[in-house]
Structure 1
């Protein structure tokens, strides 16, 4: 999917309209946005974003917490577990953040240089949510992105076991789940799984960056009512607009939208698929580079933002 977006960036006049907008007839919010300050972003989104950036680093540098500046920005973190192969099975890691007294789960996003990673995005048909993992959702008509669910399923059991062990070993009462791009989409499913599995006294938060749509209206409603997701969209990044709503996909609430390239101006976007934010972007102004960033405080994503061999 995101490989196609790169192609569209080269040929927007020919290909972009039928993919990103025509026939986009899903319901959307038109509520007015509200101001969201840089201080708000730094206090609520920066730390999850820094962990999401590290998920693009090499497995070895994450295990030893020697990934250069991204790791140095998060001292007092203890690596607990990782999984995936940075290919068909994108990397995830679990860590204990002593400063925040939380267990953190971060998912790697799409590797644009790895065709196996891109294939996870390309399987964008809607399929039934696996209700054996979420029995409370049976009969609710929830459908999710086929590729995202397959990616989630490949590591869900081991990841959940690692989180539960981390909570027991550290005494933490908070779990932070985060990711960028494909990683953000998988993070919504991981957050839902963890929330239903832990004691209600444990706080579970899910924060995504450059989040594509991950399911149908029923999935968006489930995330709003049972999980709670906050995600940041950056200017004219096309990824939050795919898959398009006319194919049955819908965003949950919780969008924070970056309005310009100063890294200082943001708005909170009430409701689902708010037309005043990423959903309302013009097809003539698609900017694929906005997907990687920077978002704010020079926070960018991708392997170039966390080079291998860093120490």
Structure 2
């Protein structure tokens, strides 16, 4: 967890007291609705397979392209690799695959690699910047701003990724695109899903399920995701990543959080509204547990240790 700890240390140093609280005085409102208890069986269909695809994204590009990434690959069964991009450093890996179980195209983004400090540099560019409306034309004039580092990471591979998805849809006849990722990969995945939603034929179903999601933009961005993509994201216990960047800097989570309460994998809650204070938003960095960031999520733990070339 070296890089994650550096990430949090840099945040605390840069922001001092504001990050340690829950941003009193923030202009963004936290939801207060009572969470609903969920059983593990309620989540399997929505999150288990996306988690398995997101886990693969931590393995080496060679093992992914050959689909020889050990248990992460074999657990998914007869999946066809289509394309990958990035360098697993300053440009995090993504890959595209065809999943025959539901005839879908899957896009998975690599999360923050804890052994590679270049990866974390994407995370610590904290400023909000205007969303690139050239890629998101329907957002013009809506005041949408996003995390500078996340947008830069997304932009580095957006064109090649879109071309790969379009080719995959054409070659396979698939009518679904499923986007996933963990940590930094989750943040980039939200942008990818929104981008694809506006780029593919309207008949194509674009879904998004991610894990350990940090805040990626302002209130207008959260509202845009709610109205167009419909984010589903899972947070785990006292993981500090979902509560950064802080709301005091203008950041806001979209709706759609599912929160895991303990290690048992039997106690989950559905958290109504944006940044529900009864779920991860109610956590504090003072009581955070960085080991919760990697999982488990429905029995899946993220990172390179499960890969044959793991570190």
Matched, 1:190 2:197: no
Per the TM alignment, residue 42 of structure 1 is displaced from its structure 2 partner at its CA by: 1.2
Equivalent-residue separation in structure 2 for 1:125 and 1:307 (angstroms): 37
Contact preservation (8 Å) 2:254, 2:275:
yes
Map of 1:19-98 to 2, 5 A cutoff?
19-21=19-21, 23-24=23-24, 25=26, 26-98=28-100
Q: Secondary structure at the match of 1:220?
A: helix
Equivalent in the alignment of 2:125: 123
Contact preservation (8 Å) 1:3, 1:118:
no
Equivalent-residue separation in structure 1 for 2:310 and 2:282 (angstroms): 40
Unaligned runs of 5+ in 2: none
Contact preservation (8 Å) 1:20, 1:241:
no
* Equivalent of 1:180 in 182, 193, 199: 182
What is the total number of aligned residue pairs between the two structures? 306
Q: Secondary structure at the match of 2:201?
A: coil
Map of 1:279-294 to 2, 5 A cutoff?
279-294=281-296
Deviations 1:252-275 (A, max 9, x none): 000000011111110100100001
Deviations 1:212-253 (A, max 9, x none): 000000000000001111000000000000000000000000
Per the TM alignment, residue 294 of structure 1 is displaced from its structure 2 partner at its CA by: 1.3
Equivalent-residue separation in structure 2 for 1:284 and 1:16 (angstroms): 13
Matched, 1:225 2:227: yes
Per the TM alignment, residue 5 of structure 1 is displaced from its structure 2 partner at its CA by: 4.7
Q: Secondary structure at the match of 1:127?
A: strand
Per the TM alignment, residue 307 of structure 1 is displaced from its structure 2 partner at its CA by: 4.0
Contact preservation (8 Å) 2:240, 2:284:
no
Contact preservation (8 Å) 2:304, 2:310:
no
Deviations 1:138-179 (A, max 9, x none): 000000000000000000000000000000000000000000
Q: Secondary structure at the match of 1:121?
A: coil
Equivalent in the alignment of 2:277: 275
